[in-house]
Every structure is written in structure tokens, then in C-alpha cells.
């Protein structure tokens, strides 16, 4: 199928111009004082890209709350799009984890991109739906203080799921004013938030409660309901900085999943229709965590301990009448999970002969207990039978060592070594799929940083990383549907690879201050993943994977022309192919190729706002590249006006140009009721139409 890739919308660029015009007086004041240019240091780069002498790679950065304040968001998970080159979409209901794309990967719901919130891991191994499942719907955007991101396999402190990269969200500890926010919009969207921080005893108590919901544009109303709560107490005593946090989230929804293009073409359903009106689910997450930090004269120490309980019930039907024309193909994925974990690090500044050096030692422990995790056949959310049900205990432990040494004013190196050990223990309702497996992996890392000028650094990075596989695939030996040691195609069922290695290389450059207030990074990278057998949560069996190679180039620009104004522009190109020879082809289905984004945000007088243009390039949907998804270009806007010193009105227009785009596309076989045989077809999930939302925020 021929695909044409339009360039990012010129109309969208024109619509950014009002924000630029609004900013021009502020820009002028930042660069001109009479006839005298302002000193470079008066315009500071505050975030997104970190200062020279601090970063260990060109792709490392930190996003601040100031950058997020005027950022338009359709979904909470789109906070991750603050990471340059990362795309966030959705193929189902808003209560489900988003679909993520970065560095030549369709990351599915989080595999190969590690996410943490206040030191707690978000990725879920051996998840009922997909390995590494990362649901960020428990985040409250107004509380996010920073998003620290990095990409690649070069960091000793990053372990499982971090082959493509990692992002760490942190919450504020204090609020200068309380916040009461009420929002409403198209498609019965509503959101209410109460948040505040108040002194209590020797510390500060932070609390927040959020309630949100909507029906979306779908012909079957989504009836999405979400409740979030946060209670956090922090204090400092002597040199100790301590925070204890409780969090809770519950949501439910009805889902309109991807639908076959032929059903749309034949008029069987409308653009926002569904063939499975009872799909959807419910999820909950509750956590208690404690953080401790201390600065010493010659170093620092930190520790984070956490306990998390979560539940997921997910009902999906992607193939309709392919497996069971009488009852339909809906299946139910469910899990009940408890997580215990510890992450601690001690760092020392010391001399290595005549050279200044810093060494960090860390330990990470985690246990996931699932009782149970299951796959069932269902009809209209009523369970008909069980495909498999397992009780799983998965333990992991890691030790890592990292050393940073300044060898000369122009040369710094970072060397790291990480060792991980895993124990998988599965008790299945099919005894042949029960078992215990232990596995370990060692991951060396090395980086050299060259200071070329006072405003330029070059980075050379190399490292190995990994992702774990689903415990059920690691111990499984038979198809749970048949009890046979062969799959539906007659191939022998093999145990999945427990830990899959990835090897990455990168060369990058960071430039700061060439234009006052501007920082630019460029990186060329390469990543190889070993072949593997992977567990397919939708089927309950393993599937052979192929070795792959990805490489690409990323360009990120961050510009603060004035105190209250931020402009960022990012481009990413990647090339992803299988490394072996197979008649099916070498393209990796769903792998991202090109992305671009342009954003402007700022404030002038009582006005504030932001506009973002996002380009999501085409993808191969099948190994021979004969079927491709179209590209998409979206423009979102947020505008605010301060009605009074403590009262602010905001308006968001999402998909401002009302573009008819798909959020995501797949190519596979399905069978509609009445069709005599399965049909291979594109299955698409549409992006939402132009959406208007308005809100009032009162500071108290």
C-alpha cells in the first residue's frame, strides 16, 4: 500500500505565530537595553537540557514544572512527550496504559522504557496485558516538579526496561499557594482538583485529590471515571531530608479499541464506532513510600523503600469471530499484585591519584507477587472459561558501581558495572507450565566526555542493558489452551528468554550559549537487541522474536529568550530492522521512523499560554513494508488569562486543526460476524476530533 508522508502542517506553523507576536515585546526586553546587549548569563537555560559539566550524554535532560504549566494535554500520559523524540498515543480506553514510541521502538505499553514516580517503579513485569506495562494515570500534572530523562544503555543505576531510555517523575514538596481547579469540556469531560501544602509540626504536609471523567467522541460512551489522591509529609532534621508519601488511584472505563478498516469502508460502523461495545476495564493502584537523603562533606546517600498494591481487569476483543463465531473473541486479562522494593545509593567524592573522582555504589531490590494473574475467555464481560491462571512470585536484586573521574580540564569519564539477578517462581493451573527459573546478567557501561570549548561538550557512550521477560513464558512448556507442547502452527513451544541483552552506542554534542539562552544537542545512536522468545499476554503462549538493530539521529533545541518564555524544537529519525534473514522481510512492524515537535509557551501581563505542534511519522505495519500507517500532524493550544490575582481562566483546544488522523494502526487478521474466513486488514484507532476544554483555577 503506497504511503505519502506530508510535512508538518504549514497551517499549524502559521497558527503558532500569534504566540510569537505576543512574546515579541518580552523577547526585545530580554535582548536590548537601550543599545546595550544583555550579558549572556542574564538569560538562563532553566531545564529541559542540563548544564555543561553535569550531563553524561547528549540525550540527558530535566523538564521542570515551569515548562509543563502551559503545556496542553489530552491525556495525563502525554507528560512523557516532554521527553524529546517520544510519542504517546492510545489504542483503547483512557484508563488503559498509553502506547509509547521512541528510538525506533513501538514500546507497546512501556517495554524498554523505564518510568519511575517519586522513586517507585511504574513498569510492571509479568503483567496480565503486556510486559513492562506502564500506566501513568495516577499522576497529577500540577504536582510534578521535574521529569529527569535519559536514553540508551549507558547508566549503571538504570536496569530492567531501560534499553530505550528512562524517565523519573518527582512531585513538589511545597506549594506557595493552595489550588482549587475546575475544568469542563466537550464529550462530557470534567475534572476537579484540590491541592495544598501546609506546615505541620516540623515538616510540610502536601495533599491533593483529583476526580476526572469523560465520554470521549465514541459512539459507545467511554464513561471514564478516575479518582486520584496523594498525601505526603516531608521534613528536614539536621542533614536528613525525609519524605513519606501515600498515593491512591481507581478508574473504570468502556473502551473503543482499534477497528478493521474494511468495517469503516463498508459503513458497518462510523469513525468513532466499535464492534465490541462491552470492551473496557477497571484498575487501581495504592502505594506507600519513604524517601531519605543526606549530604555529607565528601558525598551523599539516599534510600527509597516502597510497597505498592494494584489490580487490573481488562476486557478486549481484537478479532471478533475468528476463534469463536458463536460467542465472540472477547478475553479478560486480570491480575492482583503486591510490590515490595528498595533502592539505595551511597556516593563518595575522593581523589584518584592526582585526579578528582566520585564513586557511587547502589543496591536495588524488588519483589512482585501476583495472586493471581489470569487470562480468561469472556462474553459481554461475563467469564466463560479460563485459558490460564497463575500465581507468580518474581524477585530481583541488583548491585551497581559507577565512577566519574576528571582526568583533565577537557576530559571526564564515567565507567559503570551493573549485576542483576532474577528468580521466577510460577504456580500454574496447568502443572506443565509451573516451575522455578533463576537468571542473571552483567551490564558494563563506559562514557567519555570531552569539553571542546566553554560552551560545547562531546560525548561518546557505550553500554549494555536488558529487559526481563514474562515469568509465565520463562517457565511455560505447553499451550494452555490445548495442553500440547506445540503451538497452533505446529511449532515446538520453547521457554522464553528470561533476560534479553541490548547493546548501545552513541556519539553526541551539546552546545550552550552560542545564542543567549539557547542549548542544542545532537546525538547519533545505535542499538542491538538479541533474539528472544517473548510471552504474548493476549494468547498466553510464547512467540519467537528476531534479533534487531536500530540506529538514528536526534536533534533537540531549547531556547529561553526571556524569563517567562520557552521555545523548543525537536527532530528524531530512526531506522529499525531485523538482523537475520527471513523471507517475511526485515522491517520491524510498528517501529517509529520520524518525529518532530515545536512548542512555544510563555506569559505577558495577565495572559499566558502554549502551543505545540507534533509530527508522528509513518510506520511499517508488516515485515515486508507493503502496508504502512499514515503520518499525523497535530496542533494543540492552551491559553490562560488571570481574572484576578488569585483567579485564572484557561482554555485548551486539542487537535486545533481538527485533523482526521489515527492514534495508532495495526495489521493483522480478524473475522467479522458473517465473514466466511479471516481477513488480513489494517486495524485503526482514530485520534480524537477537535476538543475544547475550559477551566477556572483559584489559588488560596
CB distance 208 to 193 below 8 Å: yes
pLDDT at res. 31: 35
| Bridging pattern class, strands 647-654 and 691-699 | antiparallel
Which residue is it, cell 507576536?
21
CATH, domain range 10-279+291-320+335-699: 2.40.170.20
Alpha-carbon 654 to chain mean position: 20
pLDDT at res. 540: 74
CB distance 647 to 697 below 8 Å: yes
- pLDDT tens digit sequence for 67-122: 999 999 999 999 999 999 999 999 999 999 999 999 999 999 999 999 999 999 99
Secondary element (H or E) of residue 29: helix 10-31
Phi-psi region of 41 (alpha: psi -120 to 50; beta: other; left: phi over 0): alpha
CA distances from 579 to 110, 181, 527, 548, 613 (A): 23, 52, 12, 5, 34
| Bridging pattern class, strands 165-171 and 113-117 | parallel
pLDDT at res. 533: 62
pTM of the model: 0.92
Distant-in-sequence, close-in-space partners of 535: CB < 8 Å, separation ≥ 6:
131, 469, 470, 472, 473, 474, 476, 496, 541, 542, 543
Polymer length of the chain: 700
- pLDDT tens digit sequence for 194-234: 999 999 999 999 999 999 999 999 999 999 999 999 999 99
pLDDT over 50 (residue 12) = no
pLDDT, averaged across the chain:
92
- pLDDT tens digit sequence for 645-698: 999 999 999 999 999 999 999 999 999 999 999 999 999 999 999 999 999 999
Q: How confident is the model at residue 37 (pLDDT cuts 50, 70, 90)?
A: very low
- pLDDT tens digit sequence for 40-60: 222 233 445 567 788 999 999
pLDDT over 70 (residue 21) = no
| Mean pLDDT (whole number) for 392-418 | 98
3-state secondary structure of 487: coil
3-state secondary structure of 262: helix
Q: Which three cell numbers stand for residue 388?
A: 490460564
pLDDT over 60 (residue 29) = no
Q: Which three cell numbers stand for residue 357?
A: 573522582
pLDDT at res. 49: 56
Which residue is it, cell 582526568?
407
CB distance 283 to 251 below 8 Å: yes
CA 242 – CA 232 distance, rounded (Å): 10
CA 29 – CA 17 distance, rounded (Å): 19
Which residue is it, cell 547493546?
503
pLDDT at res. 599: 97
Which residue is it, cell 521542570?
64
Distant-in-sequence, close-in-space partners of 632: CB < 8 Å, separation ≥ 6:
615, 616, 659, 661, 662, 687
CA 358 – CA 287 distance, rounded (Å): 33
Domain boundaries of the chain, sorted by first residue: 10-279+291-320+335-699
Amino acid at each position: 500500500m503506497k504511503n505519502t508522508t506530508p510535512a508538518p502542517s504549514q497551517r499549524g506553523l502559521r497558527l503558532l505565530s500569534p504566540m510569537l507576536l505576543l512574546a515579541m515585546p518580552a523577547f526585545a526586553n530580554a535582548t536590548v537595553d537601550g543599545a546595550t546587549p544583555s550579558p549572556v548569563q542574564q538569560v538562563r537555560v532553566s531545564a529541559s537540557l542540563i548544564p555543561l559539566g553535569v550531563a553524561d550524554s547528549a540525550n540527558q535532560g530535566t523538564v521542570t514544572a515551569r515548562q509543563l504549566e502551559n503545556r496542553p494535554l489530552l491525556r495525563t500520559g502525554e507528560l512523557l512527550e516532554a521527553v524529546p523524540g517520544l510519542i504517546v498515543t492510545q489504542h483503547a480506553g483512557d484508563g488503559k496504559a498509553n502506547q509509547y514510541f521512541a528510538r525506533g521502538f513501538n514500546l507497546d505499553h512501556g517495554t524498554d522504557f523505564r518510568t519511575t514516580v517519586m522513586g517507585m517503579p511504574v513498569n510492571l513485569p509479568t503483567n496480565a496485558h503486556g510486559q513492562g506495562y506502564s500506566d501513568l494515570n495516577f499522576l497529577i500534572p500540577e504536582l510534578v516538579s521535574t521529569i529527569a530523562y535519559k536514553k540508551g544503555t549507558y547508566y549503571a543505576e538504570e536496569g530492567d526496561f531501560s534499553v530505550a531510555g528512562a524517565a523519573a517523575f518527582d512531585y513538589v514538596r511545597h506549594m506557595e499557594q493552595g489550588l482549587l481547579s475546575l475544568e469542563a469540556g466537550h464529550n462530557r469531560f470534567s475534572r476537579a482538583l484540590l491541592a495544598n501544602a501546609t506546615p505541620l509540626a516540623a515538616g510540610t504536609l502536601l495533599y491533593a485529590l483529583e476526580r476526572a471523567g469523560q465520554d470521549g467522541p465514541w459512539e459507545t460512551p467511554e464513561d471514564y471515571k478516575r479518582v486520584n489522591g496523594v498525601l505526603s509529609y516531608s521534613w528536614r532534621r539536621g542533614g536528613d531530608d525525609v519524605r513519606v508519601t501515600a498515593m491512591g488511584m481507581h478508574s473504570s472505563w468502556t473502551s473503543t479499541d482499534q477497528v478493521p478498516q474494511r468495517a469503516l469502508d463498508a459503513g458497518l460502523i462510523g469513525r468513532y464506532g466499535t464492534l465490541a461495545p462491552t470492551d473496557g476495564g477497571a484498575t487501581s493502584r495504592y502505594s506507600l513510600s519513604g524517601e531519605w537523603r543526606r549530604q555529607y562533606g565528601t558525598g551523599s546517600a539516599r534510600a527509597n523503600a516502597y510497597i505498592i498494591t494494584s489490580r487490573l481487569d481488562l476486557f478486549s476483543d481484537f478479532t471478533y469471530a475468528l476463534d469463536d463465531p458463536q460467542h465472540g473473541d472477547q478475553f479478560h486479562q486480570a491480575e492482583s499484585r503486591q510490590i515490595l522494593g528498595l533502592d539505595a545509593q551511597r556516593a563518595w567524592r575522593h581523589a584518584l591519584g592526582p585526579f578528582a573522582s566520585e564513586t557511587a555504589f547502589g543496591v536495588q531490590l524488588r519483589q512482585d507477587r501476583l495472586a493471581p494473574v489470569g487470562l480468561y475467555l469472556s462474553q459481554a464481560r461475563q467469564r466463560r472459561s479460563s485459558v490460564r491462571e497463575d500465581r507468580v512470585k518474581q524477585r530481583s536484586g541488583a548491585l551497581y558501581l559507577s565512577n566519574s573521574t576528571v582526568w583533565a580540564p577537557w576530559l571526564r569519564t564515567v565507567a559503570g558495572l551493573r549485576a542483576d539477578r532474577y528468580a521466577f517462581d510460577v504456580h500454574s493451573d496447568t502443572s506443565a507450565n509451573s516451575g522455578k527459573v533463576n537468571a542473571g546478567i552483567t551490564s558494563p557501561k563506559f562514557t567519555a566526555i570531552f569539553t571542546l570549548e566553554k560552551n560545547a561538550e562531546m560525548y561518546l557512550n557505550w553500554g549494555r542493558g536488558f529487559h526481563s521477560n514474562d515469568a509465565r513464558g520463562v517457565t511455560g512448556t505447553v499451550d494452555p489452551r490445548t495442553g500440547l507442547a506445540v503451538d497452533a502452527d505446529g511449532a515446538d513451544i520453547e521457554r522464553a528468554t528470561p533476560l534479553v541483552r541490548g547493546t548501545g552506542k552513541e556519539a553526541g554534542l551539546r552546545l550552550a550559549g552560542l545564542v543567549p539562552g539557547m542549548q542544542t544537542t545532537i546525538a547519533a545512536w545505535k542499538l542491538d537487541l538479541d533474539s528472544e522468545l517473548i510471552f504474548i499476554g493476549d494468547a498466553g503462549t510464547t512467540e519467537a522474536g528476531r534479533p534487531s538493530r536500530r540506529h538514528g539521529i536526534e536533534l533537540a533545541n531549547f531556547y529561553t529568550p526571556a524569563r517567562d518564555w520557552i521555545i523548543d524544537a525537536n527532530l528524531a529519525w530512526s531506522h529499525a530492522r531485523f538482523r537475520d534473514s527471513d523471507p517475511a522481510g526485515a522491517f520491524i512492524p510498528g517501529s517509529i521512523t520520524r518525529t518532530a515537535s515545536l512548542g512555544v509557551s510563555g506569559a505577558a501581563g495577565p495572559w499566558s499560554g502554549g502551543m505545540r505542534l507534533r509530527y508522528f511519522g509513518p510506520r511499517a505495519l508488516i515485515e515486508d513494508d507493503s502496508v504502512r500507517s499514515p503520518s499525523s500532524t497535530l496542533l494543540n493550544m492552551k491559553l490562560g488569562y488571570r481574572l484576578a490575582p488569585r483567579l485564572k481562566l484557561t482554555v485548551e483546544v486539542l487537535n486545533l486543526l481538527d485533523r482526521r488522523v489515527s492514534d495508532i494502526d495495526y495489521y493483522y487478521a480478524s473475522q467479522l460476524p458473517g465473514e466466511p474466513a479471516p481477513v488480513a486488514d489494517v486495524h485503526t484507532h482514530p485520534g480524537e476530533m477537535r476538543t475544547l476544554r475550559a477551566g477556572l483555577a483559584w489559588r488560596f
